[in-house]
Structures are given as structure tokens and as C-alpha cells.
Amino acid sequence: MLGIGSLPEPEAYAATVQRSAVEPQPQSPAKNRTPEDPPIRDPSRYAQTDHLRDRLTQPGRYISLPIISRAIETGQLRWNSSDGWRFVLTRDGVEFVIVVTDTETRSPVVVTGWTEVVDDDAAARSPQWTDTDIETIKLRSALSRHRESLVPDQIQPRAVCEPFRIGRHSVTTEPGCRDVVCIDCGGRFRSKSHLCEFPCSR
């Protein structure tokens, strides 16, 4: 089972603060709130980062605006490992993790989001998830959890026939294969850092 603290994305948070931080305005959250204050539960108050908007268009992410809204309204609240807070919504064996901040930006911001399989049996029984969905979520989680490390042993069991994007690459893998393979350039990779570092040569 994957731990909820296993996938922090500090680079996304740092980019958000760098682009969005401003001098506090009289009614801004940065002026009136502290990092210890629980975040606002009103989805309409939240801005979105470019990082998040890009994710909403990517296959294999499974994050949508309705999911984000529902997580903010009703999800379990957890402290984020880098900064800010996480709203966590669980559906059919999968957790939707939505990271927000509202103390260093002019308005509350949804920074990023991802999915994790937390109950294999529930996910397998659910009509919401196909086998490919489950495998994609597990593979993406393994690569993100060990971003700087080679993870051939965690890639090897996965079967992902529908490409999903990491960095500049659209990748798949087959059972027994110890790499993910870019369908555009043919590159073979065993870590997320390499996927993000090397451009696609298509």
C-alpha cells in the first residue's frame, strides 16, 4: 500500500510561490492567515497553477475539476510534507490527492494533484477503473515516489498499453520489461528524473 506522504512535489510548490507571491493586500490570505490555519473549503475561491492546468489535459492523470472541487469540499485534510495542505478524496480504492496553499499567494491556489491506489481489491472491483487505469496509477506512483532512483523492479510487473506522459515523453511498458518506453522517440527509461531531464527526439 502506498503511503500518502510518498509523493511530495516541492518543485511545483516552489514554482507556484515564485510566480505568485506578492506583497500582502489588506484582505489577502497571505495577510490574514498562517500556515497552521486550515485551508478554505470553498472551491470557487481557488486559483490554479499552470502546472495543474497542464495536468488536467494529460491522459493517465485522472484528476478533473469536479474531483478537485469535491476534494476541497469534503476530502480528508492532511498537512503537506513540503508546505501547504492536502485534501484527500478516496473513491473505489483510489485516493485523489489535491495540494493547496493560501498563505504565500494573493489568493488560495490549487498547486497540483495526483492519484494513488490504496486498496487493490476495491479498485479491481470498481467499474470506474480499468486494469490499464490501475496499472498506470501504480506505475506513475512508483516513478514519482523514487524520482531520482532507477526502479526497474517496480516497472517490471506493470502492464500499461495506453501511453501516458511524464516530462516530455509518452510512455508505455509491458510485463517483464524493466523500462518504460517512449512511443515517439523509442527512448527507454528507468527513473522519473531521466524522463524529465532528457528531451524527446521525435
Q: How far apart are CA 167 and CA 54, in angstroms?
A: 11
Q: How far apart are CA 161 and CA 10, in angstroms?
A: 30
Q: Which grid cell is 39?
A: 485551508
Contact 142, 160 (CB under 8 A): no
202 residues of the chain, pLDDT tens digit each: 333 333 334 344 444 444 443 333 344 444 567 777 889 999 999 999 998 999 898 889 999 999 999 999 999 999 877 778 999 999 999 999 999 987 666 789 999 999 999 999 999 999 999 999 999 999 999 999 989 999 999 999 999 999 999 988 999 999 999 999 999 999 999 999 999 999 998 7
Q: Which residue has the cell 521525435?
A: 202
* Structural domain boundaries in the chain: 4-125, 131-197
